Amino acid sequence: MKSATITIRCPAKINLGLSVLGRRPDGYHEIRSILQSVSLHDTLEVQRARRFSLQIEEEWAAVSRGGGVPADGGNLVLKAAAALKSSLGERAAAFRLIKRIPPGAGMGGASSDAAAAVVALDRLYDLGLKPPEFHRIAASIGSDVPFFLYGGACLALGRGEEIYPLPDGPSLQLVVVFSAKGLSTPEVYSRWDRLLTSTDKASRMNDFAPWCLVLRGEDPAIANDLETAAIALEASLGEVRSALTGAGAKAVSMTGSGSAFFGIFSDAKAAEHGASRLRRAGHAAVNAVSLGRAEWMEAVRAVG
């Protein structure tokens, strides 16, 4: 008999480079990015129930964003459940979400939670969803959600929903620094539109192919087109970038639409030293490592 409760981890992601090519006819933006799973994660518990409910517990690793995570229908976990309505019928579930990934950080916490909800409900009620159905449902919830069905390193195209798995690179020793204030993705893209009013950029592989060097263990050449817009909205983010560089990171970038920045360090000792130095300076910094696809699969393996 299948368990009445499923527990699944929900790893965050970073962007190893992000290029914005322009606004699409549907109102979204065309992007090119390399997404990478990391060890920082939320945890989702899903239990059979007569009606849907969501309980949120905050265990912020480095920064408190009280009230920043909706527990109503605006939460992507409940949107994921709604997207499965035709398969679930009258069946429902009670969700308990332990949040460690701050909202408004650009690390895909809500999207990872949503993907985990789809996977957990499929297993809990033996829905028998096939990979194309998983992807279609995930894309209907949000642009970032499909990536969290693949994990590891992936090339993301379109509005982010076109996912192409890439070979694993070496383990990346990371320090992530969170701002005291999250950023709204629509606001960051809106500022990008206003700052860059020239015609849309051509999609050239050479513009973002160098980001793949980090997956070969070479010196990373990563850049995020949205950094300028994010710093225009929150000037203190420029100080975060400088602080990571000063702490010894060999490469620094914002992830997603911000507001978190990450630094890549030469080894675990350097990353631990860098995080300690940043915390002493008053920054909300945590250590993390990249997850290869096998490590990601083990991390998200549903228990129960």
Per residue in 26-70, pLDDT (tens digit) is 989 999 999 999 999 999 999 999 999 999 998 875 665 555 687
Q: Which two tokens stand for residue 232?
A: 């225009």
Q: Domain locations in the chain?
A: 1-304
- CA-CA-CA-CA torsion sign (195, 205, 29, 76): negative
Catalytic residue among 2, 13, 72, 99: 13
Q: State the residue for tokens 């997207």.
A: 83
pLDDT tens track for 197-232: 544 455 555 566 667 778 777 776 789 999 999 999
* 13 carries an active-site annotation: yes
Q: Which two tokens stand for residue 87?
A: 């398969």
pLDDT tens track for 98-150: 999 999 999 999 999 999 999 999 999 999 999 999 999 999 999 999 999 99
Average pLDDT over residues 146-157: 97
Is residue 15 within a helix (H) or strand (E), and if so which, with residue range?
strand 5-23
Question: Cα separation of 155 and 163, whole Å?
Answer: 6
Largest alpha-carbon pair distance within the chain?
Answer: 60
> Chain-wide mean pLDDT for the chain?
91
Contact (Cβ atoms closer than 8 angstroms) between residue 12 and residue 287: no
Q: Which two tokens stand for residue 225?
A: 């087109």
Q: How many CA atoms lie within 13 A of 234 on its CB side?
A: 25
Catalytic residue among 42, 113, 144, 225: 144
> What is the dotted CATH code of the domain comprising 1-304?
3.30.230.10
* 250 carries an active-site annotation: no
